[in-house]
Structure 1
Amino acid sequence: MAAPTRLFHVWVGAETGALKGVNLQRKEASNHAGGSGLSRARGVSALAWGDPAQTELLVACLDRSLSVFSTEKGKFTGSRRCPGGDGAFCGLGVLGSSVVTAVESGLIRLWGEDEAEEPLQELQAGPGLCRMRQDPARPHVLGTAGKENGLKVWDLQRPGEPLFRAKNVRNDWLDLRVPVWDRDLQFLPGSQRILTCTGHGQVRLYDPSSPQRRPVLDVTFGEAPLTALALPPGDTSVVVGSARGDVAVLDLRKGRVLRALKGFAGGVRGLQCHPRLPLVASVSLDRFLRLHGLSDGRLQHKVYLKSRLSCLLLNTHLDWEAQEEPPPQKEKDEEEDELWDALESVPTPRKSKKRKISGF
């Protein structure tokens, strides 16, 4: 019997449009699809919790639909369209009873509860947007970054101009301009500092509270484009993943690699750390969901999910350390015996003797 949807540790979005819930103890996964079924045109672009109790899951798809999935009922309970701008969703958040969406063309909109209602507010963050995230401590504050679209910090209460606009790093040793390509960003808890990772392999730390608009820390990791980053508990390290499947924990104080996380065979599409436990979950193009321990880098769980995966979201209200006992083997054997007893027996045909023909 599959685990109830409220007992899934991780929710994963797939390029097929499926929403997958995963119970790590049982290594079980269930697929859920919206009203129009599975389709690559409805590939999941972003996931976010719709309420603090984590009973409603917001699912943003490529066709610009936004669906609500109830983890208690185990089904989709609503859907709406979020038109405007071009490209897929690259950010999703919640502000009170409203939903914040961002698309690749840079249009950020605030949607109310009424499905027929026009957006309550909108701002233009610039084209080539790769990521929009909220500050967890100040949900009305947003960070945006993209390709040739440097880091900006916005306040939805005063959306006219950004609160902070990052300045590009200095020219390289050939005095050539360094291209801008920020792929992901995170707000450091307890401060105004922001981390970004770039498509050119850099991890950069910005501090809007200081007069310096250039990064206060600039570290290069690997040679492949960095695609995702996540913050472990505390503010002294960061987990980064690349398009080649390289994942590592970096020390923000000394700018060096603390440990590498092994076992990846495809580009990393999503990373998220547990807010209280030393754990990091990841999805990659090799179609696996993995859970690594941050203290030793050991792979704790690995679940094959069949589809190309695009994003993930952790259920942090669940007791991750509780061990669930597997079903007794005896019950399984009894079920198999009942199945075999219900089958009709088929007699085995006897081999007929060959008759001998005279003269041969």
Structure 2
Amino acid sequence: MAANSQMCSVWLGSETGILKGVSFIKKQAFNFCEMSCLSRDQEVCVMAWGDTYESEVLVGSVNGTVKTFSTDKGIFTGSRECGDPSQGRFTGLAVTDSSLITCVESGLLKVWKEGSTDTVEVNVGNGICRMQQNPSQRHCVATGGKENPLKVWDLERPDKPIFTAKNVAHDWLDMRVPVWVRDIGFIPDSDKIVTCTGHHQVRVYDPSTSQRKPVMEAKFGEYPLTALSFPASQGTVVVGNTHGELAILDLRKGLVRGCLKGLAGSVRGLQCHPSLPLVASCGLDRFLRVHSLEDCSLQHKVYLKSRLNCVLLSSRELESSSVDVTGDVEEVKPEEEEDEVWDTMETVTEKSKKRVAQNDEAAVPRVEGKKKRKVAKK
């Protein structure tokens, strides 16, 4: 399995608890798990790289465990109990120095030091939907959720947040605008932070200024936004919502630059390639899709049989590898073959209302005729 895992350039976590790897070199997908002990409490809800060399994938499950998968060896090398299922699912997972950072829905953020049982605990508030690490300052994280505004924390001084966002002004009916942060991202090479909300808003905050309200706000679609990611080119963000809509938004003007089509379910995972104009997405329709950010075309589409929660892209090129692959592997079923299966199936239609009405009318006179004959006998 080591050769298989070394080929994979995209990693995904499923609702059934399976870690899936996809190789576009061989056009194959692989399952990395113990199939005999799969259960719903092993559902993968967060993923992160365990080191800067991308030799380890950290997998956070609903049951509160964080497993370490070695991409070099192709096996799980460790497991750690990092949460209590009664406190909610993991909403974030990150690594800083030699410590592991976890956050759950109840708002309990913990820093687990390697080789020690001591942990740093921070209560970031209830209803957390996302915890995100600052890539340039790895000891800083941002949190947000339902009725829990964006907050930035310095884990070296976790007594209170270093930034707390302020809600926007009341709407045109003079009613309070509800807070619902669904995902967070730090703009590369900048102090600004972007959030997407459950009320289809994209907001930009600048903690380096005294203003705590958004410095820019845009809206996309009519449905809750679920995920965001930043392309390699500056000035844009890719967002996805619960109805399978993906869009590229301009962060300066708040306008939609393009839409990525083809999705058929809620977007659960979304990540842009760090150097190439590509974005990978996955969700409830069980497909991994890779779109080009230059012409919005669909580059790859892979059916993975399970509902997918998260995606993790390798920083190397998706279709090139120096690994010499040998051995038998299971190929992914091509998209064209699946379409042929659907085309050969017979279409089932319901009986038309007109035909049903004619049958009912034909039955009425017979009943009335019997009644009239009985009256005549009397």
TM-score class normalised by the smaller sequence: 0.7 to 0.9
How far the C-alpha of 1:189 sits from its partner, in A, is 1.1
In structure 2, how many angstroms separate the alpha carbons of the residues matched to 1:2 and 1:257?
42
In the other structure, the counterpart of 1:70 is: 70
Separation in structure 1 between the aligned mates of residue 202 and residue 255 of structure 2, nearest angstrom: 11
> 1:156-195 maps to which residues of 2 (within 5 A)?
156-195=155-194
SS, match of residue 209 in structure 1: coil
Is 2:48 the counterpart of 1:21? no
1:142 and 2:136 equivalent?
A: no
**Contact persistence 2:25–2:318 (CA under 8 A):** no
1:240 aligned partner:
239
Q: Distance in 2 between matches of 1:218 and 1:29?
A: 39
* Change in CA separation of 1:42 and 1:36 when aligned onto 2, cut-off 3 Å: farther
Alignment correspondent of 1:279: 278
- Partner letter of residue 95 of structure 1? T
Matched ranges for 1:93-108 at <5 A: 93-108=94-109
Cα distance in 1, alignment partners of residues 318 and 221 from structure 2: 35
Kindly indicate whether the alpha-carbon contact (under 8 Å) linking 2:227 and 2:268 is maintained by their aligned counterparts in 1.
yes
Q: What is the TM-score normalised by the length of structure 2?
A: 0.82
Deviations 1:326-351 (CA, angstroms, capped at 9, x unpaired): 99xxxxxxxxxxxxxxxxxxxxxxxx
Deviation at 1:5, TM superposition (A): 0.5
Query: What letter corresponds to residue 213 of structure 1 in structure 2?
Result: R
Alignment of 1:1-360 (within 5 A): 4-33=4-33, 37-84=37-84, 86-114=87-115, 117-318=116-317, 320=319
Which residue does the alignment assign to 2:343? Answer: none
SS at match of 1:6: helix
For 2:129 and 2:211, locate their aligned partners in 1 and report how far apart those are by CA, in whole Å: 24
Residues 140, 4 of structure 1: CA spacing in aligned structure 2 closer, same or farther, 3 A cutoff? same
Return the offset for 1:320. Answer: 3.8
How far, CA to CA, are the matches of 2:4 and 2:22 in structure 1?
A: 10
CA positional deviation for 1:27: 2.3
Instruction: Name the SS of the counterpart of 1:4 in structure 2.
Output: helix
Q: Distance in 1 between the 2:265 and 2:195 partners?
A: 21
Structure 2: gaps spanning 5 or more residues: 327-378
Distance between the aligned counterparts of 1:45 and 1:276, measured in 2? 26
Letter in 2 for 1:246: E
User: 1: CA distance between counterparts of 2:288 and 2:147?
Assistant: 31
In 1, distance between residues paired with 2:8 and 2:321? 13
TM-aligned CA distance change 1:290 to 1:224, over 3 Å:
same
Q: Which amino acid aligns with 2:283?
A: S
Cα deviation for residue 4 of structure 1 reads: 2.1
User: Separation in 1 of the partners of 2:256 and 2:322?
Assistant: 32
CA offset digits 1:74-117 (Å, max 9, x no partner): 00011110135700000000011110000000111011223xx4
1:284, CA displacement in angstroms?
1.4
Q: Gaps (5+ residues) in structure 1?
A: 328-360
The 2-side partners of 1:67 and 1:323 are apart by 27
- Taking the aligned partners of 1:174 and 1:44, their CA distance within structure 2 comes to 41
For residue 167 of structure 1, what is the amino acid of its counterpart? K
1:40-88 C-alpha deviation (Å, 9 max, x unpaired): 1110011111111111111100000111101111000111101357000
